[in-house]
Chain A
């Protein structure tokens, strides 16, 4: 059996190391690595369900376990494996890594370090999605933090130091609380193993109070990454200051770590706690949904607008998870994929708007459509996708999420539905001000989309349309995998 997951990890690790020392050729190394990653992801997809059947595996496919640390009182493995949920997010990682590398092809400020850090971020995310051991998971989780800190802190805007520090402190504090939760889970469950599957077998025996405590600690830890209101204020600052590539990875991948972690390490391990904390999850989800969309309406910086819309969308993800139904989980994963693609696309357009006009201020720009038709069209596609236009990627995900919400909690579905109107409002209003009307605030010479940036956006637009028209490609992947604890549909 070819250890394809370890091979991918090694590929990304080697690629990262080579990139750091490759100097001017770093971009080519990064590109080759990205394509190889995509190729290995395709290998993972190919015969994914067939593999499970052939090997009689019930939970995680492509499993690998090697003993790492073995002591009388604790046993830590290098354990990896994937199911449908992680596979969808791995696919997202591969797509976004490729798109980011192409988008920032002409990065001139320390290109070796830049591409190396981009690859390292994606390596960390991939690790999080495949790790099945508490410590291994935590290692990758923290490994994501460091490159992103430097990406914001070195390549960022004027207030980059503040933003990078804020990002680091917020997510790090959250990580510590999460670690406490995970360690309590391990040690109190009476098991010496840090392995996901053995934890799953023992976690249910904990007293309910303990389960609730651990769940809340994990929820806080993962929630800050979502981010949930009121622990979200690091996100707009980080996005505004981050370079475009950083924003793409931040919105496209890092936020998904929170959603993935919550599903894998909280919901699947501690289903007993859910009835006791569900009201809190709903409350936080509704707060994020409403707050994200309403505050977006007041934003003037395009990047801040997309950042707050991310809070809204991730709120819907949280809502779908909180429903604790198979339909909800399916929707949560689809939504994360959709939001990963669409928010990455929108952050790319924001970056290009900044390059070509020197500003991202919605209230100062106007009438861009005739001057930069390609860019304007891309912004329109991204906005329409984000507000849930059918035939584009977000619609099937939102449809299933809200259908599941209706089935789960009835008329409360009106909260996200009304937020959908507000979401449409701030996108449509942004388009009216920035793209339509008489030209305003544009310099004499405005460049339309440069070639590499256009290629990167083209990839994401294509994904938006393809998965919007053929959502079953993703759905079949998720439902064909045995999802722990919750039968589909």
Chain B
């Protein structure tokens, strides 16, 4: 029996539209409601509608996978002329594209979005800025759903910028705190670097494809995502490889900015200045994954050259290890999870770079659930004890049983312990990259990075777990008595815990690996290469064991001052001095140049003008003196002037006229 879901796919635009309604309602009327939470419930309601519709769409895609596009809105269009740089015209159409991966992303965005919205009712209940919070969060969901459903690169970029600006406002939600305002600025500007390079990539793709697509039909098809692989792709990769390589690298730069990959990762840990719920939704599950999604759609619809792939593998693999090391030593529970997010995004980038798009998206899928769970569990802790400092916590396991279980489930999933969701996807990433090392020996070091990170991941997340939950009582006795949160916060924890356990079973749904024709999927899913699965599981268990022996049961491990590892630890605590470097270049360097330029503007450029002014004043003061009033002087001037004029006429004028062709 086949059921047609075309009707549902045709109204996919409602998914972004529902939260948009909430944005308008809460944004305009939120502050006038008698109780501020009502605005929150409105937002929860509309995000619930969006979630239900996304689930129906995903069900439809699951039953009969395919592409459904709806291009209804011409944003801007230039006619077909047959000449110039865009012979086929220049048509930018906005529409929706429903296909297996956008359906997958819709589920991630809206399920986590709905749960975070619900959770926030409890988490943010005391905040006067509640209407602003819900308006901004609803706008974010609109933009994120729009991004997921984009059917062309320009539309993608449009929503890409909008999610960025929502993230900017939500990081700076507590804007009266200078650190929050500063973190928001940093996030905007660092991602902006990636964004302008992304834009350059779009320019290149546009120009290259426009030249190739002289046929009028090209313009009408909008831009690219709609067709399954572009008809011109094959010929272009052969003919214009250097240019397409650059374009691919620009996509990588954009993705690195959004997904916080080295060297544009610095903003994400500071983004933890925002409410924890925002960290869970935007800076763990959805927006930061948009970079991976960008790489995925680029690899599917535009294609990367081998050089691009190596660069992506290198950035992803290196970031995996690089970020994990920084997570090892931090005291702030949110920052530990934030570095973990950077590291996990590295896994996804690594897989996509190695050519396994579906594997990268699979890890995106499981990660969204277990990482949102970890953040919300951390939020529950912060809500209860009012601090983010792990060293002040302790013994919370006795008071907050549900939160403890939730954090443990999230941690086990992150550490890749079977049968939790993270195991399946992480194992997939490792297996798929390993399978490429035979033909691409340069992938080896990055595979090893990823493998080492498995151990580190298990260690740092359980270090945090033991520090917060094990032991008899908090190390800081002044902390308030911990308590379990209200049901609106407990329910999301329960649901996400369930998902963090079972989400990995997605791969066992028949046909899942073949949803994307052309996306390279390993057939094994962690079952065939038992040696690798065993090794990674052993590394994970080992990491947990080391964490337990150092931090378990309320122990606090202090690295001896004489230890040779102290410099390394300090290096990690100082974040490899990269933040200092950014501050130095960005704040001091550029600002000094700006100050110098301002000085030049005021005193050199304007000063020259004033100098001219003074010169003329002085000149006229002197020239005045030739007005002697003596007639014979004037007669001499007249004769001299006449002579000069005649000379000019005789010697200069003919040359002048000649040169002008008169």
Contacts and interface: CB of A to CB of B under 8 A. Distances in A.
Interface of A: 188, 206-207, 209-210, 229-230, 232-233, 291, 294-299, 325-327, 330, 367, 369-370, 384, 389-391, 395-396, 399-400, 402-404, 406-407, 413-414, 417-418, 420-422, 424-425, 428-429, 431-432, 435-438, 471-472, 475, 479, 487-489
Contacts of A188: 660, 662
B33 interface: no
A390 B158 contact: yes
Contacts of A429: 185
Contacts of B598: 295, 298-299
Interface stretch (B108-116, B199-207, B495-503, B541-549): B199-207
Given A298-B598, A389-B165, A472-B75, A407 B85 contact: yes
A429 B184 CA distance: 10
A297 B182 CA distance: 16
Nearest to A370: B176
A163 to B, nearest CB: 12
B307 interface: no
Interface stretch (B117-125, B186-194, B317-325): B186-194
A413 B606 CA distance: 29
B135 to A, nearest CB: 11
A407 B75 CA distance: 21
Given A230-B605, A413-B200, A437-B176, A210 B597 contact: no
Contacts of B182: 432
Contact of B84 (A229, A396, A417, A487): A487
A420 B157 CA distance: 15
B661 A295 contact: no
Interface of B: 74-79, 81, 83-86, 89-90, 154, 157-159, 161-162, 165, 168, 172, 175-178, 180-182, 184-185, 188-189, 192-193, 196-197, 199-200, 203-204, 206-207, 586, 590-591, 593-595, 597-598, 601, 605-606, 609, 659-662
Contact of A390 (B76, B161, B660, B662): B161
Given A295-B598, A298-B594, A489-B86, 4 more contacts: A207-B660, A421-B196, A424-B188, A479-B79
Contact of B79 (A369, A402, A438, A489): A489
A399 B606 CA distance: 33
A375 to B, nearest CB: 15
Contacts of A294: 590, 593-594, 597
Given A188-B660, A471-B75, A472-B77, A297 B594 contact: yes
Given A210-B660, A326-B84, A406-B204, A421 B193 contact: yes
Contacts of A422: 590
Do most interface residues of chain B lie in helix, strand or loop, or is the interface mixed?
helix
B192 A399 contact: no
A327 B90 contact: yes
A435 B172 CA distance: 11
A112 to B, nearest CB: 35
Contacts of B203: 402-403, 406-407, 413
Contact of B605 (A233, A391, A424): A233
B157 A390 contact: yes
Nearest to A405: B203
B76 A438 contact: no
Nearest to A488: B78
B79 A488 contact: yes
A233 B90 contact: no
Contacts of B78: 327, 330, 475, 479, 488-489
Contacts of B204: 406
A72 B598 CA distance: 54
A471 B84 contact: no
Identify the 5 closest CB pairs spanning chains A and B, nearest first.
A207-B661, A436-B181, A297-B594, A489-B78, A298-B598
A488 B89 CA distance: 9
A233 B601 contact: yes
Contacts of B200: 406, 413-414, 417
Contacts of B168: 428
Nearest to B31: A373
Contacts of B83: 487
Contacts of A479: 78-79
A432 B185 contact: yes
B85 A420 contact: no
A367 B181 CA distance: 10
Contacts of A210: 660-661
B207 A403 contact: yes
29 contacts: A207-B659, A233-B609, A295-B594, A295-B597, A296-B594, A298-B591, A325-B84, A327-B84, A327-B85, A367-B176, A369-B175, A396-B76, A400-B76, A406-B204, A407-B85, A417-B196, A417-B197, A420-B192, A421-B196, A428-B168, A428-B189, A432-B182, A435-B175, A438-B178, A472-B75, A479-B79, A488-B79, A489-B84, A489-B90
